[in-house]
């Protein structure tokens, strides 16, 4: 991993005056009808994974005290893996790991997608657009193409496989569904995230980035069903999307991402990510809210991707949030780890089921990822 300092970001270019907030015209709203998470059956305690990952990544005889402290401080108690832990030593190369990603991804992706449609009271044939995102494997035909016939989607379903957004793709995918439904208000659109992070772990690699990833990331899939304002059928019961905002931070490409080589995906995680979030993220988020006549005090539900304990602390510091504002994100991190783009959808599901906000409550769904970038989605429950 390249050692680098967080760049100083200067962003004082003039902007046109901001229009006052107005509700969306009738028929242009996007409402979330359902969101469902699917987890592999192989669930492990964090302490057990520390020893197994030590066997995979550390040279024989290495003192494991630092690795154990890393796992203990990751904010994770349990995680789900795509495969039984004893099978990882036999994967050997990128080809085998990617084959495992395809096989497990189809099962979990199908489970999440059918569960979300069932929850929404819809059939696979009702889907007009399927956006499928993953950063942990590749396939052509893509997962969405392989799932279409298996699950009964229409032959004319629109498909958009997305690669490269990483952890931000759960938020960015919902934002792009909203863009589509504003132009196709009679349609139903689905976002499917399949992230099997454990299959990217690099064996015999004791670099800090690989060991941090081995302590944080878990596996899972999630699907979200969104409906346009003019769509027929059951009335969507979830929050509406009010507005979205994408943000790229200049000269930060090396902070987060992958180096892709013969061994597959080798993670890049720079220690400067929390500093960038703390120094710059709050200003941009407040400006976005101000465009809609809101402040952080108006947000009643925070649906935040759990990058890790330090990133969550940086978000809370940057926004001056109350101590419990990100508890749902911390609970998700503790129970399933960081599932990349699927995590923010898992947190949205938990918010919906266990802490359902009162009607009219403002919510903000947010995530960050390679680029370095952030994505904000303003919700109204």
Show which residues are catalytic: 167
Query: H or E segment at 158?
Result: strand 158-162
Greatest alpha-carbon pair distance for the chain in Å reads 66
CA triple 61-64-68, angle to 5 deg: 160
Tokens matching residue 193: 């995230």
What's the rounded Cα separation, in Å, for the pair 194 and 171? 14
Residue 42, beta-bridge partner list: 81
Contacts of 187 (CB under 8 A, 6+ apart): 128, 129, 180, 181, 227, 228, 231
Give the β-pairing of 188-196 and 129-133. parallel
What's the rounded Cα separation, in Å, for the pair 109 and 335? 20
Is the distance from CB of 45 to CB of 78 less than 8 angstroms?
yes
What's the rounded Cα separation, in Å, for the pair 92 and 261? 14
Question: What one-character DSSP code corresponds to residue 124?
Answer: G
* Inter-CA distances, 185 with 97, 123, 156, 229, Å: 40, 18, 18, 5
Query: What are the backbone dihedrals phi and psi of residue 49, each rounded to the nearest 5 degrees, phi first?
Result: -70, -35
DSSP E strand stretches across 39-157: 42-45, 78-81, 129-133
Give the β-pairing of 240-248 and 256-261. unpaired
């Amino acid at each position: 991993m390249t050692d680098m300092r967080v760049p100083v970001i200067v962003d004082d270019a003039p902007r046109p005056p901001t229009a006052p907030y107005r509700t969306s015209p009738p028929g242009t709203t996007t409402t979330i009808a359902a969101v469902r998470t699917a987890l592999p059956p192989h669930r492990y305690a964090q302490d057990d994974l520390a020893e197994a990952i030590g066997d995979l990544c550390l040279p024989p005889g290495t003192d494991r005290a630092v690795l154990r402290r890393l796992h203990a401080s990751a904010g994770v108690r349990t995680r789900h893996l795509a495969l039984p832990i004893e099978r990882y030593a036999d994967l050997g190369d990128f080809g085998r790991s990617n084959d495992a990603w395809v096989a497990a991804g189809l099962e979990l992706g199908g489970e999440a997608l059918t569960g979300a449609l069932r929850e929404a009271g819809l059939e696979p044939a009702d889907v007009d657009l399927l956006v499928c995102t993953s950063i942990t494997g590749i396939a052509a035909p893509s997962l969405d193409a392989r799932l279409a016939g298996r699950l009964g989607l229409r032959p004319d379903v629109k498909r958009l496989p997305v690669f490269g957004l990483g952890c931000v793709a759960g938020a960015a995918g919902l934002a792009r569904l909203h863009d589509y439904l504003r132009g196709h208000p009679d349609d139903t659109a689905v976002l499917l995230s399949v992230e099997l992070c454990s299959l990217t772990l690099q064996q015999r690699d004791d670099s800090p980035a690989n060991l941090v990833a081995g302590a944080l990331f878990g596996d899972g899939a999630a699907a979200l069903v969104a409906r346009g304002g003019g769509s027929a059928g059951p009335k969507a019961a979830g929050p509406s999307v009010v507005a979205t905002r994408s943000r790229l931070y200049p000269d930060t490409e090396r902070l987060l991402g992958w180096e892709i080589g013969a061994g597959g995906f080798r993670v890049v995680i720079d220690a400067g990510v929390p500093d960038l979030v703390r120094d710059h993220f709050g200003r941009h988020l407040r400006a976005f809210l101000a465009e809609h006549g809101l402040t952080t005090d108006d947000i009643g539900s925070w649906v935040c991707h759990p990058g890790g304990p330090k990133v969550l602390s940086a978000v809370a510091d940057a926004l001056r949030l109350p101590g419990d504002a990100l508890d749902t994100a911390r609970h998700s991190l503790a129970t399933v780890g960081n599932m990349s783009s699927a995590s923010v959808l898992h947190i949205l599901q938990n918010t919906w089921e266990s802490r359902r906000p009162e009607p009219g409550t403002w919510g903000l769904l947010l995530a960050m990822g390679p680029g370095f970038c952030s994505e904000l989605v303003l919700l109204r429950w």
